[in-house]
Amino acid sequence: MYFRQISSRIDEKLSPKKAIIVSGPRQVGKTTLIKSILKDKTHLSLNGDDMSARAVLATAEKEKLKTVIGKHKYVFIDEAQQIDNIGISAKIILDELQDVNLILSGSSSFDLNNAIQEPLTGRKWEYELYPISWKEYEEHHGYFEAHQKLEENLIFGLYPDVLNNSGDEVEVLSNLVSSYLYKDILALANLRKPEVLDKLVLALALQIGNEVDYRELSTLIGIDKNTVIKYIDVLEKAFVIFKLPAYSKNIRNEIKKSKKIYFFDNGLRNMIIGDFRPITMRQDKGALWENFLIAERVKQRSYQKRIARHYFWRTTQQQEIDFIEEKSTTLSAFEFKWNNKKARIPRTFSRAYNPEEFVVDKDSFRDFVM
């Protein structure tokens, strides 16, 4: 089992005063993580996928909740987004059962956040869990083994089940895509057109690292622009993809409103396009490298509670920078190179913003992702 970075942070925050909320996609290990934290504590586990648990928790009745919880001081409710009134029930548990430590997990940020936002305002600690991070992977396998498998990880990704089933990676990813990406998301978001989702996800997977034009996507797929925006929003809230906006402050010819879209996991992306060729045979190796690096940086920003904003940069003259990180007092510009090629930050950007400048390649990526 991989030790997860947020494990100790959650353990420290356990308190009857505030609920712990852990969200993230299915199959990234949320249940395993929480049960490992509670393994030495007598606790009650309930699951929102279970009809009887849903029925009890949805009533939001104090006496019934007291009866179910009994003398347990730790209560874990998995897949909490499936339960009607879960926010109100959680508030009753915190207010009326004052010695109870409550943990909720969910694989749909839109449903879970909507349910708990108002009832638990100021009464919760929120965390997100993603596929295994490179830091977690290296700490588990050691430096040399981890780096020997870098190219393999760029192809098959870092979902726990993929890593734990060597030789069966494609089958695991196939099951993950068919069950989670399509069945779960279509059901949770009440989307009625699976063929549209299929076409959209494929289009996004084929253009990672490129700017995304919603009007172009709507024409390609045959739906209106607002539907494209709705489906992309659902995919983002379901932790399948994330957006990277354009950076623009000073220069007249900067691209201002454009965005790029990346996948949280390379393996999921490669399953969607049906391509598991080794990195040496691929035309998209640069895009895979870029997707991996940016996804890892996003994970670390979340896990370390780092306050930073992320962007890309491009001008109408096609000058570009792969990744910009803006903190309160510093601006950093990063160029990603799979092979050890020389790269320079465009002088237009350097003169305008005076950033710290970095090139990230196979020899130097460890500092960037850890």
Query: Would 298 be classed as within a structural domain?
Result: yes
Could you list the residue range(s) of the whole structural domain that residue 235 is in?
Answer: 173-369
Per-residue pLDDT of the chain (370 residues; tens, 9 = 90+): 899 999 999 999 999 989 999 999 889 999 999 999 999 999 999 998 899 888 988 887 899 999 999 999 999 999 888 888 888 999 999 999 889 999 999 876 555 666 677 788 889 999 999 999 999 999 999 999 999 999 999 999 999 999 999 999 999 999 998 877 766 677 666 677 778 888 999 999 999 989 999 999 999 999 889 988 988 988 888 889 999 999 988 777 778 888 999 999 999 999 999 999 999 999 999 999 999 999 999 999 999 998 999 999 999 888 999 999 999 889 999 999 998 777 889 999 999 999 999 999 999 999 999 9
Judgement on whether residues 95 and 221 belong to the same structural domain of the protein: no
Judgement on whether residues 78 and 197 belong to the same structural domain of the protein: no
Distance of CA 219 to the CA centre of its chain: 28
Q: Hunting for tokens 């895979």 — which residue is that?
A: 288
Query: Would 51 be classed as within a structural domain?
Result: yes
Q: Which of 128, 161, 192 is the last residue of a domain?
A: 128
Judgement on whether residues 287 and 365 belong to the same structural domain of the protein: yes
What DSSP line would sit under 99-125, residue for residue?
T-EEEEEES-HHHHHHHHTTTTTTSEE
pTM: 0.93
Q: Where are the beta strands (DSSP E) in the chain?
A: 19-23, 43-47, 74-78, 101-106, 124-128, 241-245, 259-263, 309-314, 320-326, 331-336, 356-360
Query: Would 276 be classed as within a structural domain?
Result: yes
* Contact status, residue 218 vs residue 224, Cβ threshold 8 Å: yes
Q: How many domains does the chain contain in total?
A: 2
CATH code of residue 59: 3.40.50.300
- Do β-strands 320-326 and 101-106 pair in parallel, antiparallel, or remain unpaired? unpaired
